[in-house]
Amino acid sequence: MNYRGSCHCGRVAFEVEGEIDSALACNCSICQRKGSLLWFVPREKFRLLTPDDAASTYTFNRHVIRHRFCPVCGMHPYAEGTDPQGQAVAAINICCIENIDPAAIPVHHYDGRAI
């Protein structure tokens, strides 16, 4: 299935292909503050509809995840990184996807503070 999403103001927009079978809620210092629910997909299944430089980037700790956010409205629609096997992935904030009910998606809790 194809999904469309964006930040609140629309400056950062994307399409993503896949099936949302679950989301991840992480309690690390940034995810807990953002309150995002993350769906991980292979990076090639994610496509920006707006220029890459429309989003700002924030990294912290080990600087391996590029947390992308809109510099205008402040929303964090996605992040980029690599999975444990070294494959490029996108972490989509399902709360930024159009026409889905995030409350209907099973959520798994991840202890990101333990890392």
Alpha-carbon gap, residue 53 to 105, rounded angstroms: 30
Q: Identify the pLDDT of residue 113.
A: 85
Count of domains forming the chain: 1
Which CATH number fits the domain that encloses residue 16?
A: 2.170.150.70
Alpha-carbon gap, residue 90 to 65, rounded angstroms: 10
Count of CB atoms situated within 10 Å of the CB of 75:
23
Residues 96 and 6: beta-carbon distance below 8 Å: yes
Full residue range of the structural domain in which residue 9 is found: 2-114
pLDDT tens digit string along 9-33? Answer: 999 999 999 999 999 999 988 989 9
- pLDDT above 90: residue 109: yes
Q: Across residues 75-85, what is the average pLDDT?
A: 95
Q: Across residues 54-59, what is the average pLDDT?
A: 97
For 47, which DSSP code?
E
- pLDDT above 70: residue 115: no
User: pLDDT confidence of 112, banded at 50, 70, 90?
Assistant: confident
57: left (phi over 0), alpha (psi -120 to 50) or beta: beta
